[in-house]
Amino acid sequence: MTVLGRIITYNYFIKAQLLLGFLFFHTSCEQQNKMSLLTGNTMGTTYSIKIIQSNDRMNIESIKKGVDSVLIQINNQMSTWDPESELSAFNRWTSIKAYPVSQSLLTVIDSSLSISKKTGGLFDISVYELMGLWGFGPNPKIGMPSLNEIQTVLASTGYDKVMVDENTLIKTHPNVKLDLNAIAKGYAVDMVYEYLSAKGFDNIFVEIGGEVRSKGKNQNNIFWSIGIENPSGGNKKDIKLAAIIDLNDHAMATSGNYKNIVNIDGEILGHTINPRTGFPIQTNVLSVTVLSSSSMIADGWATALMVMDYQTGLDYIKNEKELEAIWIIEGKDGTRKIGHSPGVILRQAIYDIKE
């Protein structure tokens, strides 16, 4: 491959690996409970938390400090953008000796490796160097990578090159580096959710950079609802949301390949890299939304399914009892359809359902 020149990066939405759907909530003239809204910045993006309570006794400032404390700790453990983070220190480690890490980091990496094994490596957190080759991440390369560069990086890429052993991580290749951007925000949602639940809140909605988890009902005593964004491009209808679903105490994550892109001398490339080939994916799947009881698991699987075509992804999801998924698929003529696994109930959809 020819090495090309300048890369122009489009950051429509600050998110290294995933793009999540547009949020939608029920509205009503009669509001039965008070809603408190917490917002802030974290992990290179924003968070939005809604808490419903029937009285005014909640110390909102104290709760926000607690949430921020949870998020700061996770960012200090898992950020690839912070050179002082626990993950960055592990990435600099070039020994195959056991490396002790926190339980939180072990949990996320162990869950990641489980998804990797189930998908045959189509989900892989060892893509740090690959992402950089294609102009993404904290150390982006300028210009189109050569085939030789890709093959060199692939030699130290692969989920089998890192292992969890009790309270330590072990590299089987000294140059392997991990990138948790496809799953860490989901984990952060779960941890904030657990923090708020432990405080006694039964009606909450937690969103970080688009990753979502809900509990109970909104201020109108109706289950939280969410909309899946209608991807740009193609024969797009002039409607923001492609579908609306009720969460019913579930978590949700959406991966898309249409906003976080790079333009390498006129060639538009998406941010989802196939870890087997080292190249950006080329499929007719515009986005995948995954529903699960865990935002972390939904987050990881949404990325994995973006690397697959619709039918392959559907076959995987049918074998995962705890998961449901929704695809937005583009035909050769630019028209769109929505596909979903058997357990999904869409309240509203603007495109035909794929049979």
CB atoms within 10 A of CB 142: 11
Quick one: average pLDDT of 109-117?
98
pLDDT in tens, 319-334: 999 999 999 998 888 8
Instruction: Work out the percent of the chain whose per-residue pLDDT is above 70.
Output: 85
d(CA 220, CA 300): 32
Give the pLDDT of residue 29: 42
CATH T-level assignment (fold) for domain 13-74+183-353: T-fold (3.10.520)
Per the confidence metrics, is the pTM higher than 0.85?
yes
Residue 21 has a pLDDT of 34
Q: Which CATH architecture has domain 77-171?
A: Orthogonal Bundle (1.10)
pLDDT band for position 306 (cuts 50, 70, 90): very high
How confident is the model over 72-97, as a mean pLDDT? 97
Q: What is the mean pLDDT of residues 288-299?
A: 98
Average pLDDT over residues 173-188: 97
Overall average pLDDT of the 339-343 stretch: 96
Please, where are the H alpha helices in 9-127?
60-78, 86-92, 103-118
Q: What is the DSSP string of 274-335?
A: -TTTSSB---SEEEEEEEES-HHHHHHHHHHHHTS-HHHHHHHHHT-TT-EEEEEEE-TTS-
Residue 192 has pLDDT above 80, yes or no: yes
Band (258; pLDDT cuts 50, 70, 90)? low
* Widest CA span in the chain: 64
> What is the predicted pLDDT for the residue at 256?
85
The two tokens of residue 308 are 């697959």
**For residues 214-237, average pLDDT:** 89
Q: Tokens 């809604």 appear where?
A: 50
User: In the chain, helix, strand, coil percent, each to 5?
Assistant: 25, 25, 45
* pLDDT confidence of residue 222: 92
Classify strands 241-246 and 348-349 as parallel, antiparallel or unpaired: antiparallel
Would the pLDDT of 253 be above 50? Answer: yes
With bands split at pLDDT 50, 70 and 90, how would you rate the model's confidence at 287?
Answer: very high
Q: How many helices (H) and strands (E) are present in the chain, helices listed first?
A: 8, 18
**For position 225, what pLDDT does the model report?**
94
Mean pLDDT of 84-111: 97
Least confident of 54-58, 70-74, 85-89, 330-334: 54-58
What mean pLDDT, rounded, does the chain reach?
A: 86
Q: What is the pLDDT of residue 268?
A: 43
Mean pLDDT of 245-270: 69
Task: Name every residue whose Cβ is closer than 8 Å to that of residue 210 and which is 6 or more positions away in sequence.
Answer: 13, 15, 18, 19, 20, 21, 45, 185, 253, 254
Question: Using 50, 70 and 90 to split pLDDT, how confident is the model at 4?
Answer: very low
Q: Compute the average pLDDT of residues 295-320.
A: 96
Residues 119-172: tens digit of each pLDDT: 999 999 999 999 999 888 888 888 888 999 999 999 999 999 999 999 999 999
CATH 1.10.3980.10 in the chain, residue ranges: 77-171
pLDDT tens for each residue of 24-66: 344 444 456 889 999 999 998 999 999 998 666 778 999 999 9
193 has a pLDDT exceeding 70: yes
- In the chain, residues under CATH classification 3.10.520.10 are 13-74+183-353
